[in-house]
Amino acid sequence: MPGGNCVLTRIILTFAQTAFAGVLLLTAAGMFGLHGKYLELASHFRLQYLLAAAVCLPLFIALKSWPWAALDTAYVLAVTALLLPSYLSRQTEESQQASTHSLRLLLSNVNYENTRYAELASLIESESPDVIVLQEVTTGWLDALKPSAARYPFTRWRAEETDGSGIALLSRIPFEESDVAFVGRGDRPGIVARLRVGGAPLSLFAIHPHAPLRPKHFGYRNEQLLAAAEQARSLPAPKIFVGDLNTTPWSPYFGRVLAESGMVDARKGFGLLPTWPVWNRTPLLMLPLDHCFVSPDIRIENIRTGPNIGSDHLPVIIDLALPVTAKRK
């Protein structure tokens, strides 16, 4: 049997080497995501690459393949270091204000094919958000939420039945102004609103770009993200920018949106909080696609995912502390 053991060892080692080489190749490809659709798609799976590398590492050690073990160890440590900021709070001094107003925001891509209306209604009842941003809304969703109208009398929406581009803003806080807005190319509406929270103004901007899978949609999504970042920068602070952005924190376009908008990722310090796809049921294999960015003068008290409401996305609940005195930025 020694010969059989040797063959099995070679098979296992070859499998581990091939898998880890694939991880390295895909990781490198993702770093050049600004140069093509498939390169950018490779950037989204950093956590999954880390898990694959972590599985390969004990195999290299057990089989005494030391050069591969050393390279794998270096990779695991490097990627872990890149993911750690998601769990380390980075609140700015500007956000540490004594006088604040509290705001709870619920963001949910409800999925236009989903008809489990009662589950979202139950979530709204239990969480009691001040502001609700819904994406992929249809007239069916708007009709189902009419019982909530008394609690959320201030609304702005655009329903779409078949393409997932519908969007709605519901608020118990009055709008100073609100409008459906189109940014970038394509036909995906967003909403821009100005609210007054405890006497202080608040800007809110919500979009839902195309998923970057079909022809042209990769370019449409990127243009809308960058145009939205520019528009978000121009809004007066304090301000919130939310949506299913169809990108992850590891995409180079995500980094550009943060840099060009001058805003802060609300997730930072609270974990990765993956939201899609819900049917996977394994958070380690899911991706964080639904995001909330805030101006640096807003303090993030908490951000978490909600329960499955029948959509392919989990809802996100964000608790914020808004400055009493607003500054223009």
* pLDDT tens sequence across 117-160: 999 999 999 999 999 999 999 999 999 999 987 899 999 999 99
In the chain, what are the domain boundaries?
2-86, 92-323
Residue 288: pLDDT above 50? yes
What b/e readout covers 218-228, taking b as 16+ CB neighbours within 10 angstroms? Answer: bebbbbbbbbb
Name which of 315, 297, 256, 261 is nearest 114 in CA terms: 315
Question: How does residue 303 score in pLDDT terms, banded at 50, 70 and 90?
Answer: very high
Residue 1: pLDDT above 50? no
Token duo for residue 15 = 């499998």
Q: What is the pLDDT of residue 179?
A: 96
Architecture of domain 92-323: 4-Layer Sandwich (3.60)
Contacts of 312 by beta carbon, 8 Å cutoff, 6+ apart: 109, 111, 276, 277, 278, 279
Q: What is the pLDDT of residue 314?
A: 98
Q: What is the pLDDT of residue 198?
A: 85
* pLDDT tens sequence across 188-208: 999 999 999 988 899 999 999
* pLDDT tens sequence across 51-65: 999 999 999 999 999
Q: What is the pLDDT of residue 327?
A: 53
Main-chain dihedrals φ then ψ at residue 89, nearest 5 degrees: -65, 140
| Tokens 């969007």, located at residue | 167
Q: What is the pLDDT of residue 97?
A: 61
- What is the rounded average pLDDT of the residues 245-253? 97
Dist CA 64 CA 70 (whole Å): 11
Q: What is the pLDDT of residue 50?
A: 98
Whole-number average pLDDT of the chain? 93
